[in-house]
Amino acid sequence: METELSKRLGIEHAIFGFTPFPAVAAAITRAGGFGVLGAVRYTAPDDLKRDLDWLHEHTDGKPYGLDVVMPAKKVEGVSEADVEAMIPEGHRQFVRDTLAKHGVPELPEGEASGWRITGWMEQVARNQLDVAFDYPIKLLANALGSPPVDVVQRAHEHGVLVAALAGSARHARHHADAGIDIVVAQGYEAGGHTGEIASMVLVPEVVEAVNPLPVLAAGGIGSGEQIAAGLALGAQGAWLGSLWLTTTEADLHSRALTAKLLAAGSGDTVRSRALTGKPARQLRTEWTDAWDDPSGPGTLPMPLQGLLVADAVSRIQKYEVAPLLGTPVGQIVGRMNSERTVLQVFDELTSGFECAVDRINRIAGRSQS
């Protein structure tokens, strides 16, 4: 499963795996793909350094990358406390009422929320980069599109390629103009923040818009056949995120959440602003329903919503409150019906890819069998 891009990066398979778990990222890289560690949860530079040390030691000298969240425009002099002060009391009360309705206990005294969206704030991401560029990362991806110009320049000075996610051809052209090296065309089906256009339509539009820049197909991809389809549409690889959540190397800290993912069908997700303030696909729960209910106060813009619900999400996860328990995940969750190792997933992806290529060759009359 080689393309020009995979050869350029020195990987066997053009499969790029985004994950918040170092063990998963390392396993993806060792399996011949390209592991990309999500950095948004690392608010302390020392924590990121610890996990990058581990990742570097467990990738057998093979390449890996980092995914950060940075707005393209720099905002000076705004602290987390300043942002917190913007949250209306009515929204705070709505959170308290929703948690009380479901009997969600408080966190133990002295235990801080383990889920803060401070990683959405630019200075936190810059601190992450100060750590990351001390490691031989080969790719820096940004989930909010093109990072600031100076960040792109800094990455290139370190010999690091820069990728940015795009939900439309217009966004993709903006990335190309900003000096991005790789565009990830992420369709509506994907987990996390998505646009309005489905992958089958989006990928060829983006390929045409930014040619000759390489494009990765993302959103709704969880089989080798789907990877083959993405390459047939002009992509030079596939960007997979949700599929790794139910691998044995993933550390969700919740058997209840894993069980919900394994039981969910492709129709059990929803694009909601409940988590961060921007539309993000996630499991549909009574928590997302409450925020999307017209009778409620409505969500706040990013990063206010993420800060507002941080403590609540930590409590829901800690006590595994099933009706409210969810996670960002794409429509491919319908295929995630068993726990497998990352290597087993790779075996299925590569065998499915070979079957798809053979099928097309037979249709085209080129089969040797």
Nearest CA to 306 out of 113, 78, 146, 171 is that of 113
pLDDT score for 182: 98
How far is it, in rounded angstroms, from Cα 355 to Cα 351?
A: 6
**288: Cβ contacts below 8 Å, ≥ 6 apart:** 270, 272, 274, 282, 326
pLDDT score for 75: 53
In the predicted model, is pLDDT for residue 368 greater than 90? no
Q: How high is the mean pLDDT of the chain?
A: 93
Q: Of residues 175 and 77, which shows the higher confidence score?
A: 175
Least confident piece of the model among 92-96, 106-110, 218-222: 106-110
Rounded mean pLDDT, 148-152: 93
Nearest CA to 224 out of 205, 206, 237, 211 is that of 237
Least confident piece of the model among 138-152, 161-175, 226-240: 138-152
pLDDT score for 116: 56
- Amino acid of residue 11: I
pTM exceeds 0.85: yes
- pLDDT tens, residue by residue, 286-309: 999 999 999 999 999 887 898 899
Rounded mean pLDDT, 67-72: 79
What six digits make up the tokens of 88?
């209306």
pLDDT score for 73: 57
pLDDT score for 88: 95
In the predicted model, is pLDDT for residue 366 greater than 60? yes
Residue with token string 């990066």? 9
Rounded mean pLDDT, 186-209: 96
